[in-house]
Amino acid sequence: MKKGLLTGLLLFGFFFGAGNLIFPPTLGYQSAEQFWPAVIGFIVSGVGLAIGTLLIGTVINGGFKKELDEKIHPIFSLAYLIALYLAIGPFFAIPRTATVSYNIGVAPFLPDSKSGLLIYAAIYFAVAFYLAYNRSSLLSSIGKILTPIFAGLILILVVVGAFKFGQTTPELAGQTELTAAKAFGNGFIEGYNTLDALAAVAFSVVAVNTLKEFHFSSKKEYEKTIMSVGVVTAIGFSVLYIGLAFLGNHFNVASALAKDAELNVGSYVLTMASRELFGTFGQAFLAVMVVITCLTTTVGLIVSVAEFLEENFPRFSYKVYATVVTLIGFGVATLGLQTIIKFSLPVLMI
């Protein structure tokens, strides 16, 4: 059980990142009276598909690439996985984590300046690279330390927020005609947009490599540990998703702000709720929570993409690929959050 718990915490830290923070509050706000169908749809794709993919990838001998090689074609397999790893890695997911943590956690402390994101991203990616470079210590640095910290902070936010805003009537936000079926569909798409279902393909390899550090007496013990990993991550996801969505559903968001094309509702809810709940300490609380949450995901993605490239293109080492992935992620991050989301969604739908 201990092996499964430690590995589950590591993977939970990898999975839970930018989209996992900002999409649930937005969905909760948009779903209005159809809260539960929307949240269930989000959990089905954001948790069900992700954890199912993760477990399958850890059980299959040879992983998803071998399956795609045998059932379709090796060329398709390699091309598809390259596109997938680049999407969940340096071009979309990695820079998104950096920009979300900046917009929510750091930007409020700084005067309006274009150089703020550039400086923050440089520091952020330097720390992420350091942790990814020393991948042998990930179980300790992320699984035992960083993941419990950010998960605990998010839990504090949603629990205190539930008591504070729980009696507030949800704003309809122009969604008065939203049906349960449409709300479920919207939730399903938003859960997919967290990228966890795709990232699970990569993280399943990390899970296998991590589990190799433990000594199993039998295949049965290994499979039991894998199941406990799935349970730990699934419960953690579901609890925080429901809490964050509930916060967005009940927090008072002015309709005029919600209609602002430049405003990210999820970011707004997290920021303003933290300030209202914790006063002047609220922004610092939120900054620590968001930066650690996003940083662990960035590290996990750098490790996953670099290991994939090293395995399939061994001309260069893991450290070289980790450096390149980090630099590309840094470059894309400087474009800003809204730009990244705008050009990433069409690719993900394909």
The pLDDT, as a whole number, for residue 140 is: 81
Alpha-carbon span 318 to 308, nearest angstrom? 9
Q: Nearest Cα to 302, choosing from 207, 209, 203?
A: 203
The pLDDT, as a whole number, for residue 349 is: 66
Alpha-carbon span 111 to 218, nearest angstrom? 58
Is the Cβ–Cβ distance between 28 and 183 less than 8 Å?
no
Per-residue pLDDT for 243 more than 70? yes
The larger pLDDT score, comparing residue 126 to residue 219, is at 126
**Type of residue numbered 183:** A
The pLDDT, as a whole number, for residue 158 is: 93
Alpha-carbon span 159 to 215, nearest angstrom? 38
Is the Cβ–Cβ distance between 147 and 9 less than 8 Å?
yes
Q: What is the pTM of this model?
A: 0.86
Residues 6 or more apart whose CB falls under 8 angstroms from that of 86 comprise 305
pLDDT digits (tens, 9 = 90+) for 3-57: 677 788 888 888 888 789 889 999 998 888 889 999 999 999 999 999 999 888 8
Burial of 280 (0-12, 13-18, 19+ CB in 10 A): exposed
Per-residue pLDDT for 171 more than 60? no
Is the Cβ–Cβ distance between 211 and 225 less than 8 Å?
yes
> Tell me, what DSSP letter sits at residue 85?
H
The larger pLDDT score, comparing residue 350 to residue 330, is at 330
